[in-house]
Amino acid sequence: MKLKLDCRHFRGDKPCIHHCRCEGCTHYSPMGERILIIKLDAIGDVARTTPILQPLHRAYQPCHVTWLTHPISEEMLRGNPLINVLLPYRPESLEPLRVQRFDRVLSLDKTARAAAVAEWVDARVKLGFGLSRFGTLYTFNKESEYAFQLGLDDDLKFRRNTRSYQEIIFEVVGLKYQRDEYVIEIDANDRCHADALLSGLGVSPDEALIGLNLGGGSAFANKMWSAPRAVQFLRALLKQVECNVLLFGAERERAAIEEILRAKLPRVFSAGTGNTIRQFQALVGRCALLVTGDSLGMHLAIAERRPAIVLFGPTCAQEIELYDRGEKVISAAPCVPCYRPTCEQSPTCMEGIEPGPVLEAVKRWLAHEKKLKLLGG
């Protein structure tokens, strides 16, 4: 039997989706350019790397995309129609890579474990970051040098750089950036979960809904307001905007969400802290607008084409692409950005962001979207 091992439908351990023998099969579809994307960390960075998928498929027709990622990001990328093989970073996933050959490897993490995989995998072209024999990072191609320097030069990263993450990554992989959007797919079950949760809270589909995301991850300090600051903002918001408010956060934000709910503000509800990433995204998709820090919630709002009002303190606002949907409110603290995991400042940079400018940004975008009724207060 003559097997067509390069067919994207061929599996080997079981029949392909067409249940045809290779010989004489009319469904033969060669993989074409075999591309390995290595992007493990962090989940928000994985989300904002998905804009390269459409351009890859445009540039290399046909192509076959394998994406190696951290297991925590696997759920977010699962079912993506532009990813042919999704591999979580585990030993059982790495071993098959040792015998495969790729046409190009896109190594997009400046970490030793990711760069090491890019170093030993067999590929005709390697772009991005590799690991030297001294255990140090280096660049495979000259187009990666600017991204590399951002990690070495704080003045360049914090003050002189004006380019978004997407612009930088597209340069690394040799693609023209045309403000391609995120590609993060969720299914009808996730949408139904959002509908059921909101229905259970008494929020109907035709009622206006604003999201307030308290999450910010644990890598950097102070990426969102404290509960008292959030309550102050919500009091002002509810006086001037006719809406419901949905509070978002992970388990680490449970105490803050409960503190806000104890303020007994009308029409303020919790989305809960146990939603999966896909359920979280579906709930964000039901919001007319999301107020958030630089967080996964922000990236999911971008993926859902929802306007976002984003508060920035310890991280670089210029690296975030909002696609002309929303505004950035940047702390005036002299120490920002800092990318520090802890902070001893009082008040913190985020607490220095007053609710007033955030509320004005919300009102501008609601007027722009014509979604909600503004009140007189």
Supply the pLDDT for residue 371.
Answer: 63
What does the pLDDT look like over 41-69, one tens digit per residue?
899 999 999 999 999 999 999 999 999 99
What does the pLDDT look like over 225-234, one tens digit per residue?
999 999 999 9
Confidence of residue 345 (pLDDT cuts 50, 70, 90): confident
What does the pLDDT look like over 180-203, one tens digit per residue?
999 999 999 999 999 999 999 999
Supply the pLDDT for residue 169.
Answer: 98
Structure tokens at 194: 């959002």
User: Rounded to whole angstroms, how far apart are CA atoms 180 and 323?
Assistant: 9
**Kind plus residue range of the DSSP H or E element containing 312:** strand 308-312
Q: Structural domains in the chain?
A: 33-173 (3.40.50.2000), 189-374 (3.40.50.2000)
DSSP string, 19-53: ---STT-TT--B--EEEEEE--S-HHHHHTTGGGH
The mean per-residue pLDDT over the stretch 149-155 comes to 96
Give yes or no for a cis peptide into 42 (omega within 30° of 0). Answer: yes
Q: In this model, does residue 5 exceed pLDDT 60? A: yes
Supply the pLDDT for residue 38.
Answer: 98
Q: In this model, does residue 28 exceed pLDDT 90? A: no
The mean per-residue pLDDT over the stretch 277-291 comes to 97
Cβ neighbours of 134 (radius 10 Å): 7
Residues 6+ apart with CB under 8 A from 347: none
User: Rounded to whole angstroms, how far apart are CA atoms 154 and 160?
Assistant: 9
Q: In this model, does residue 377 exceed pLDDT 50? A: no
Question: Looking up tokens 């607008």, which residue turns up?
Answer: 289
Q: Which class for 190: exposed (0-12), middle (13-18), buried (19 or more C-beta within 10 A)?
A: buried
- The DSSP code for 60 is S
User: Rounded to whole angstroms, how far apart are CA atoms 195 and 282?
Assistant: 9
Alpha helices in 121-226 (DSSP H): 145-150, 154-155, 165-173, 188-200
Structure tokens at 11: 């599996």
User: Rounded to whole angstroms, how far apart are CA atoms 305 and 209?
Assistant: 15
The mean per-residue pLDDT over the stretch 15-37 comes to 89
Supply the pLDDT for residue 340.
Answer: 87
Beta strand residue intervals within 47-206, DSSP E: 63-69, 85-88, 101-107, 122-131, 137-139
Q: Whole-model pTM?
A: 0.93
**Across the chain, what does the average pLDDT equal?**
94
Residues 6+ apart with CB under 8 A from 303: 47, 50, 181, 182, 183, 184, 281
